[in-house]
A and B are shown apart, each in its own frame.
Chain A
Amino acid sequence: MKINEQIDISAIVEENIQPQMASKISVKDLSAFFGKTKVLKNISIELPEKKVVAIIGPSGCGKSTFLRSINRMHEVVGGTITGNIFLDGEDIMKLDPVYLRRKIGMVFQKPNPFPTMSIFNNVVAGLKLNGFRNRKALKEIVEKSLKAAALWDEVKDNLNDSGANISGGQQQRLCIARTIAVNPDVILMDEPASALDPISTAKIEELIFELKKDFTIIIVTHNMQQAARVSDYTAFFYMGELVEYSDTKKMFTAPDKKQTEDYITGRFG
């Protein structure tokens, strides 16, 4: 893999398209392993602040592993990484993972609300872990987070119901509310709409568009139309390597690499 070339691409992205944008997360020569298997190969990429970056690529290309390296969830399942990831210039491997995950929230593929908690308690679960107990402030945060997740109107009368008794799409928005309630800087989304019906998917996509005003969002998706719709930048991963990274419009109209074009036009994957 020609690493230099990738850095060049991201440099182009920064200079030509968004010259003023600041890099929120900066990944340098990242490799990730499961045991001895190398699933990510020397990735270097700059993720800009308050933008949506979509990560696309066929199954098993390392998209999810990349995402999970950023909030150090990769090591929870026994993986290891080499290289560096910087959040606002700080090396994440030197940060406490518990603190890091409060700065970098994550939404998973399958909605995973806590079934034993009410909707209210689901939203504030992260805050309560932080030792936050002020009931009045919690109420405000619940309302604010549920509104931000476009769920407030649907659940405001049943906040004490179980978080598992709402529809899948609502559950996923509840998980998003839970993530933004702790006010992270970055939100990672691992195929957040792939388990949902088209209407719920559309709602999640609208939501992502709203959320990028306040958060840096990195979204892994199988759905290329989705990547084209919601993201500002797109990175194409293949076999653990970053093949191409550029402005989404450019990526879907005039990709630089043959491989990218083949994937986007559906010749493989």
Chain B
Amino acid sequence: MLNSPGESLKERESFEKIQSYFKKSKEKKTSGFLNKILGNNNLGDIIFERLTLLFAVLVFSLVIFMGWEMYSHSVLSIKQFGLNFLVNSTWDPAITQVFGALPMIFGTIVSSLIGLIIAVPLGLSVAVFLSELAPAWLEKPLSFLTELLAGIPSVIYGLWGIFVLVPWLRDVVEPFLQNEFPNSPFFQGAPYGYGMLAAGLILSIMVLPIISSISRDILKSVPDAQREAAYALGATRWEVTKIVLSNARSGLLGAIMLGFGRAIGETMAVTMVIGNRAGISASLFDPSYTMASVLANEFTEATTDLYLNALIELALVLFIITILINMLAHLLVWSTERKWK
């Protein structure tokens, strides 16, 4: 567009002002404290860069170091049991000294899956409501409250589990399920309250805020242009939401995986309600054991070297599974976010 002569003159003046500002700031830079000492314009930058790099590498090497430490302290058990450690279901520290982690791997994965089966539909619904439907005045406080759930120490969840959840399961839910589905393999055995079901329920409450808050962020990162495109085609609110969800699907999967990672590593609350007995059973009423609970419970009792090595190998397995799941989750979340930039 054409400018009147007066305007272009103004523009030129402001352009000169900007130029002189940059000149000044450049002068300032060369007279900086670090540069005065070092007498070099770029050395400060180089030091800064190397220093931050060092810290970044330090954090990363910490992870490698931990992995290495666990490996080197479990060599005894790795040599003795090999891959059998992962598929053997006997955990007998007392007499035969045979260690197989299968029941704990089973307990960890199944309790986490139960948690997810309950938490995923709830968490996604909360996220859809917060990002797509809730009015602005409701969104903020509700998001805050759901995120608050994530901040409660897990021992408190555990206590709540022992005093509220377990008695309720024992006296109400489990007898009811047993009456309604007498032939279901999932509801067999004495209803103790303590067991897989209690652990799964506690975990579902604990991962709910993670799934819902990350999913909400993912849904919010879907550009409004997508929603408008759908609305302009004559989509209803539900149809618009479907399009938003399909845009965000890999990020949502990532959110679920992060929740899964959290559930797998959860120790205290699960240990307090799962019953702590190594065994593989289809019944949700039966006590079970998770890798994290074994470590918490038995570390102080490990009297022989092999026992200790087996426990550390168990930690290594948990460590690797958690890292893999988190990596996958971050990869998925990152791939959706990148798409929009």
Binding site for B on A (CB under 8 A): 71, 73, 76, 98-102, 105-106, 108, 110, 112-117, 125-126, 129-130, 175, 178-179, 182, 265-267, 269
Contacts and interface: CB of A to CB of B under 8 A. Distances in A.
Contacts of A106: 228, 232
Contact of A112 (B225, B235, B236, B246): B225
Contact of A99 (B228, B234, B239): B234
Contact of A116 (B230, B233, B249): B249
Contacts of A129: 230, 233-236, 239
A175 B229 contact: yes
A116 B235 CA distance: 17
A6 to B, nearest CB: 26
Given A108-B225, A267-B4, A126 B233 contact: yes
Contacts of A108: 225, 228-229, 232
Interface string B140-163: 000000000000000000000000
Nearest to A105: B232
B225 A269 contact: no
Nearest to A222: B1
A-B pairs, 9 with minimum CB distance: A102-B234, A126-B233, A106-B232, A112-B225, A266-B2, A101-B234, A112-B229, A266-B1, A116-B246
B228 A269 contact: no
A239 to B, nearest CB: 18
Interface in B192-238: 223, 225-236
A115 B234 contact: no
A118 B62 CA distance: 45
Contact of A114 (B231, B247, B249): B247
Interface string B1-25: 1101000000000000000000000
A113 B227 CA distance: 11
A8 B294 CA distance: 86
B330 to A, nearest CB: 21
Tell me the dominant secondary structure on chain B's binding face: helix
B229 A101 contact: no
B228 A76 contact: yes
Contact of A178 (B4, B233, B239): B233
B2 to A, nearest CB: 4
B4 A76 contact: no
A265 B1 CA distance: 8
B339 interface: yes
B232 A71 contact: yes
Contacts of B223: 112
B249 A73 contact: no
B277 to A, nearest CB: 46
Interface in B306-320: none
Given A73-B232, A267-B2, 8 more contacts: A73-B231, A76-B227, A100-B234, A106-B228, A106-B232, A110-B225, A112-B225, A266-B1
24 contacts: A71-B232, A73-B232, A98-B236, A101-B232, A101-B234, A102-B233, A105-B233, A108-B232, A112-B223, A112-B226, A112-B228, A112-B229, A113-B229, A114-B226, A114-B230, A115-B339, A116-B246, A175-B229, A178-B229, A178-B233, A182-B233, A182-B234, A265-B2, A269-B1
A193 B249 CA distance: 30
Nearest to B248: A116
Contacts of B235: 98, 129
B295 interface: no
A76 B243 CA distance: 16
A137 B227 CA distance: 27
A73 B228 contact: yes
Contacts of B226: 112, 114
